[in-house]
A and B are shown apart, each in its own frame.
Chain A
Amino acid sequence: MIIARILGTVVSTQKDERLSGKKLLIVRPINVDGSDTTGYVVAVDTVGAGFHERVLVVAGSSARLAQGMKDVPVDAAIVGVIDTVDVVQN
């Protein structure tokens, strides 16, 4: 799983019928210290995350194991909203 920040939304009318009613969000992977990395991913939201929130993103076939994603053609899903990240530096 990666940590990402929500950057925006995607609206798509013509899509696979199994994606109907699913919220598509643009997320940018971030480092554990909160700084942005480059690039972005379009992910399906399964938890009701909001703009600018830090979220957990599952990628690959595991994304289909999220709630309501069975047999849905996705390979990135938001499965949690992050409250805190604690990193212990040695």
Chain B
Amino acid sequence: MCLLMQRSSASLTLLTWSRIKMQLARVIGTVVATVKNDSLEGRKLLIVQTLNWKLEPSGKPMVAVDAIGAGVGELVFWCRGKEASFPFKREDTPTDCTIVGIVDSEQHVTT
């Protein structure tokens, strides 16, 4: 029973961590969209490739709204979900993926 509880606790922890979506990514490109939601006017759209803890590409690239002035080639961290709209006017900025910080360099990532 105790073992079972430990196991379920471990899987719960894993589940919780897998839901946290603030991860590292590399900016690999840009997207231009003229016709878009008014609240996205003037926002930079970038393509980000998510990275694993070894800074190797993992998963599919996504389009992210830039909140801090990142550029192509930079290592960034980003958040997903409803929280992605928090850097902007949060009630009317439809984004589920936003770049919220630039990592100084790869040497500043210690794993």
Contact surface of A with B, Cβ cutoff 8 Å? 1-3, 31-32, 46-49, 56, 58-63, 65-67, 69, 77, 79-90
Contacts and interface: CB of A to CB of B under 8 A. Distances in A.
Contacts of B37: 46-47, 66-67, 79-80
A74 to B, nearest CB: 11
Contacts of A80: 33, 35-37, 40, 45
B69 interface: no
Given A56-B33, A80-B40, A85 B81 contact: no
B62 A2 contact: yes
Contacts of A77: 94
B31 A62 contact: no
Chain A interface, >50% SS class: mixed
Contacts of A62: 81-82, 84-85, 94-96
Interface residues of B, number: 35
Interface of B: 28-40, 45, 47, 60-65, 72-73, 81-82, 84-85, 90-97
Nearest to B82: A61
A87 B91 CA distance: 31
